[in-house]
Structure 1
Amino acid sequence: MTEPRRVRVRGLARHIVLIAVGIVMIYPLLWMLASSFKPDALIFREPGLIPTDFTTENYSLGWNALSHPFTHYLMNSFMVVAGSVVGNLASCSLAAYAFARLNFRFRRLWFAIMLMSIMLPIHVIIVPQYVLFSELGWLNTFLPLIVPKLLATDAFFVFLMVQFFRGVPRDLDEAARIDGAGHARIFVQIMLPLAVPALATTAIFTFIWTWNDFFSQLIFLTEPDLYTVPIALRAFLDSTGQSSWGAMFAMSIVSLVPLFLIFLLGQRYLVRGIATTGLK
């Protein structure tokens, strides 16, 4: 076998393996999509992807199955997500600029502490957070889910932006200072326009992680009127065995649409953001 032919065979084999792995990874999503068009009695009886009894009734039932139309829970999630995205963009960019450009006492120590906080699981801090927010009277409001984002508590995004700001030449800062600009003007007029890829990456990841966050929202939101999409989907499950699987799968597909849209619209910025921050 000649060398060019051997290279083609290896490339074909790699593509076959990647396609097979991709099918295995996407199969659960395809199965859920197919199950959303099946009656409840056939969902677990027919494991195939092609429904023998096609119905769209699960979508109409799921939309109005709970105490509010599913639009209500979508809007609740959008409110939490919007506050989280704005909070992370504002606070994490300010904190990152401080670590990357300002000289203050114990900067390296605080930066190391910030990095170590990435390793703390949410289960470690959820109890003191619950006690604090309970004392403040914030339970059953969106404040516990939004206010911490305004305080740069997501260390991953601070680190991501620090890496980006460190890659910006300091000559730009010095030229701006010669023109009389201070740190506020440098940050707003120079750093932020250059940091669009990093900001977009932060916004996309914040959107996805907040939209899918079940644990924190379950802890702080117990009133049905405040349920977000993950908690509303949990309401379709019944411990007595009368779960509405078809309706839950249908609303799960609906809840995935914003995630697919935000990823498709921001994919270009996401790749650029990760590539320009050294997170390869």
Structure 2
Amino acid sequence: MRWNTKLNRTIVQQVVLILLTFAMLYPLLWMIAGSFKSNATIFTTAHSLIPNQFNFESYRLGWKGFGNITFGTFFMNSTVITVASTIGSVLSSTLIAYGFARIKFTGKKLWFVCMMLTMMLPFEVIMVPQYIMFNWFGWINTYWPLILPTFFGTPFFIFLIIQFIRTIPNEIDEAAKIDGCSKFMIFWRIIMPLIVPAMMTSAIFSFYWRWDDFMGPLLYLNKPDLYPVSLGLRMFSDPDAVTNWNSLFAMSTLSIIPVFIIFFMFQRYIVEGISTSGLKQ
């Protein structure tokens, strides 16, 4: 009886989990199914996830893009922005986190509080001042407003990496000082190799945020040949004409492939980085 009760409980749990997973994935599955339907049958057969006839023309037309700009250009632009900003964000956040975690300096607590407070500021608060400043620099229609600010650290990543560094014993630093290492050498040769999981976690989150960013490119980029994927997808939607829904869904499906690849390749770092960053020595 006890074995049967345990088996029944396990079956119920698995069924519930499968149903919840399907409910969460349903919008994604509906979009993928819509990418293989014709534009006329997407909404008339919205109840079905299996197309009556698989139509690959939407992928060809969607990749063709607009004018002389193919969707490959949008992917390349997104890759440049995402990779550059991710590198800048992770490296700068790691260096700043090391300073807060290991180096004593005047006003350390004050600057840490100021850094944490910036996490509470919504983007809408700094949007207009930043635009005025970057416009004064002459950086509109360039990638500098999207990339350069990341080289000054990201508060969430700084806090995450600080918590990870605090799990490393201070005795390691002391031993390195006795061997003649400077603070930077301690950071580069000892601390950084030990905090790779936290850095990888930060890199994955940065990749997701930058790849999906819509508001930033919308503010600073006005030339279609500079658009990332997020703005390229918007061009399929035309309120004054017929929206090419199947091509929109097709390119949206392709745009999430890099996200899935990054997640499945580095998912172990996400768990390790987040689970360890909350511990203290």
TM-score after normalising by structure 1: 0.96
Task: Find the aligned partners of 1:72 and 1:127 in 2 and give their Cα distance.
Answer: 29
Moved more, 267-276 or 231-240: 267-276
1:240 aligned partner: 240
Task: Give the AA of the match of 1:19.
Answer: I
TM superposition shift of 1:125: 0.9
Consecutive aligned runs of 4 or more in structure 1 exceeding 4 Å deviation? none
SS of residue in 2 equivalent to 1:40: coil
Task: Give the AA of the match of 2:85.
Answer: S
Task: Find the aligned partners of 2:247 and 2:94 in 1 and give their Cα distance.
Answer: 41
2:186 aligned partner: 186
1:224 aligned partner: 224
1:163 aligned partner: 163
Unaligned runs of 5+ in 1: none
TM superposition shift of 1:7: 3.1
Q: Please give the root-mean-square deviation of Cα atoms over the aligned residues, in Å.
A: 1.1
TM superposition shift of 1:4: 3.9
2:122 aligned partner: 121
2:200 aligned partner: 200
Task: Give the AA of the match of 1:64.
Answer: K
1:206-229 per-residue CA deviation (whole Å, 9 max, x = no partner) reads: 011100011111111111111000
TM superposition shift of 1:269: 1.4
Moved more, 39-48 or 114-123: 114-123
Task: Find the aligned partners of 1:8 and 1:25 in 2 and give their Cα distance.
Answer: 26
Moved more, 134-143 or 62-71: 62-71
1:28 aligned partner: 27
1:14-46 per-residue CA deviation (whole Å, 9 max, x = no partner) reads: 221111111000011111111100100000010
Task: Give the AA of the match of 1:36.
Answer: S
TM-score after normalising by structure 2: 0.96
Task: Find out whether 1:82 has 2:83 as its counterpart.
Answer: yes
Task: Find the aligned partners of 2:218 and 2:193 in 1 and give their Cα distance.
Answer: 37
Task: Find the aligned partners of 1:207 and 1:113 in 2 and give their Cα distance.
Answer: 25
1:67-116 per-residue CA deviation (whole Å, 9 max, x = no partner) reads: 31111000000000111111012110010000000111121121111112
Task: Find the aligned partners of 2:10 and 2:173 in 1 and give their Cα distance.
Answer: 47
TM superposition shift of 1:8: 2.9
2:12 aligned partner: 13
TM superposition shift of 1:276: 1.3
Task: Find the aligned partners of 1:221 and 1:14 in 2 and give their Cα distance.
Answer: 49
How many residue pairs were aligned?
277
Task: Find the aligned partners of 2:19 and 2:261 in 1 and give their Cα distance.
Answer: 25
Unaligned runs of 5+ in 2: none
